[in-house]
């Protein structure tokens, strides 16, 4: 297991009304009282951010948003600015999730602008990257990840990289019940760390946290966390249930 502090994040996607999100957050805070061996973040829908923050602000649970727009303000109907997210109590923001890329046409160029906007507003971006099943079957995994990293992080400095988290999410494992084996995930995480070293130096590569995402459950988190280059998880479905999510956070290795 790595020496970097583990980071476990829950992406609630388009689930939970504000009331439901508050109830789940309350339960989480109660179950996780006294937990400090791991950094914990939950990303409720925009409509619940401020309400959830009020519930968790005195606890070890932090709040993140699922997306942002790169402009400060303007005539961008339906979008959310970095300042709006910060004012809701967020410290983190998920950027470039495969569902954003797949359903809303988000590109590496968009991702790059969103990362810059997050950093300019003191938000920690959780940057998602990953290949589809077709790309994996064609042996294209590393080429796809290389492109996503290089284009997504173009123009950034080693100092910028001190404030980002990467999340490797093989698209074929998100919400499918399929999970990369711990060895498969480690192989990719090792590649990503070496790529960051080539681009930003050994020190940054050694400190940046790289999460795994894709059907993470209490039953498989321990095996994943044994791997030297896996520093935590970005959890989807299992994070919607407070007890299951707590089971992931309290992983045993």
Domain assignment of residue 44, yes or no:
yes
3-state helix, strand, coil in the chain (%, to 5): 45, 15, 40
Q: Is the pLDDT of residue 1 over 60?
A: no
pLDDT band at 215 (very low <50, low <70, confident <90, very high): confident
| Catalytic entry in 99, 131, 169, 189 | 169
pLDDT of residue 172: 78
Asked if 233 and 221 count as a contact pair (C-beta separation under 8 A), the reply is yes
Question: Which are the contacts of 154, defined by CB distance < 8 A and separation ≥ 6?
Answer: 112
CA within 13 Å, CB half, 198? 9
Domain assignment of residue 1, yes or no:
no
- The conformational region for residue 194 under phi > 0 = left, psi -120 to 50 = alpha, else beta, is alpha
Domain assignment of residue 185, yes or no:
yes
- Check if 97 is active-site: yes
Residue among 9, 2, 7, 31 at smallest CA distance from 234: 9
Q: Which two tokens stand for residue 29?
A: 């805070």
- The conformational region for residue 210 under phi > 0 = left, psi -120 to 50 = alpha, else beta, is beta
Segment 43-66 mean pLDDT: 98
- State the pTM of this model: 0.96
Domain assignment of residue 2, yes or no:
no
Whole-number Å distance between alpha carbons of 166 and 70: 19
Domain assignment of residue 76, yes or no:
yes
pLDDT band at 73 (very low <50, low <70, confident <90, very high): very high
The CATH number of the domain where 201 resides is what? 3.20.20.70
Strands (E) across 58-152 are located at: 61-65, 92-95, 124-129
Domain assignment of residue 244, yes or no:
yes
Whole-number Å distance between alpha carbons of 190 and 161: 17
Question: Which are the contacts of 158, defined by CB distance < 8 A and separation ≥ 6?
Answer: 200, 201, 203, 204
Asked if 118 and 64 count as a contact pair (C-beta separation under 8 A), the reply is no
pLDDT of residue 107: 97
Q: Is the pLDDT of residue 177 over 80?
A: no
pLDDT band at 105 (very low <50, low <70, confident <90, very high): very high
Domain assignment of residue 43, yes or no:
yes
pLDDT higher for 3 or 88?
88
Question: Which are the contacts of 233, defined by CB distance < 8 A and separation ≥ 6?
Answer: 8, 9, 211, 212, 213, 216, 221, 224, 248
Matching residue, tokens 């404030």: 163
Q: Is the pLDDT of residue 194 over 90?
A: yes
How many structural domains does the chain have? Answer: 1
pLDDT band at 2 (very low <50, low <70, confident <90, very high): low
Residue 128: exposure state from Cβ atoms within 10 A (0-12, 13-18, ≥19): buried
| Catalytic entry in 79, 97, 154, 163 | 97
Give the domain extent around 75. 7-249
pLDDT of residue 110: 97
Q: Is the pLDDT of residue 176 over 60?
A: yes
- Check if 169 is active-site: yes
Alpha helices (H) along 153-227: 158-161, 182-200, 202-207, 218-225
Question: Which are the contacts of 235, defined by CB distance < 8 A and separation ≥ 6?
Answer: 8, 9, 10, 11, 213, 216, 245, 248
pLDDT band at 253 (very low <50, low <70, confident <90, very high): low
Domain assignment of residue 12, yes or no:
yes
């Amino acid at each position: 297991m790595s020496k970097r502090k583990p980071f476990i994040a829950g992406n609630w996607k388009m689930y939970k009304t504000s009331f439901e999100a508050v109830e789940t957050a309350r339960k989480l805070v109660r179950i996780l009282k006294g937990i400090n061996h791991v950094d914990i973040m939950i990303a409720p829908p925009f409509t619940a951010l401020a309400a959830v923050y009020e519930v968790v602000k005195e606890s070890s649970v932090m709040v993140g948003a699922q997306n942002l727009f790169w402009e400060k303000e303007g005539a961008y109907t339906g979008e959310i600015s970095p300042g709006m997210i910060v004012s809701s109590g967020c410290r983190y923001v998920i950027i470039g999730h495969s569902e954003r890329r797949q359903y809303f046409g988000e590109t590496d160029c968009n991702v790059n602008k969103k990362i810059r906007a997050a950093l300019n507003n003191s938000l920690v971006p959780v940057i998602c990257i990953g290949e589809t099943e077709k790309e994996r079957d064609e042996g294209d995994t590393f080429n796809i990840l290389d492109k996503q990293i290089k284009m997504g992080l173009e123009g950034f400095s080693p100092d910028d990289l001190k404030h980002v988290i990467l999340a490797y999410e093989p698209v074929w494992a998100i919400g499918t019940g399929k999970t990369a084996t711990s060895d498969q995930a480690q192989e990719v995480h090792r590649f990503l760390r070496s790529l960051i070293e080539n681009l930003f130096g050994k020190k940054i590569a050694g400190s940046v946290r790289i999460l795994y995402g894709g059907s993470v459950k209490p039953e498989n988190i321990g095996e994943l966390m044994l791997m030297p280059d896996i520093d935590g998880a970005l959890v989807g479905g299992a994070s919607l249930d407070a007890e299951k999510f707590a089971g992931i956070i309290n992983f045993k290795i």
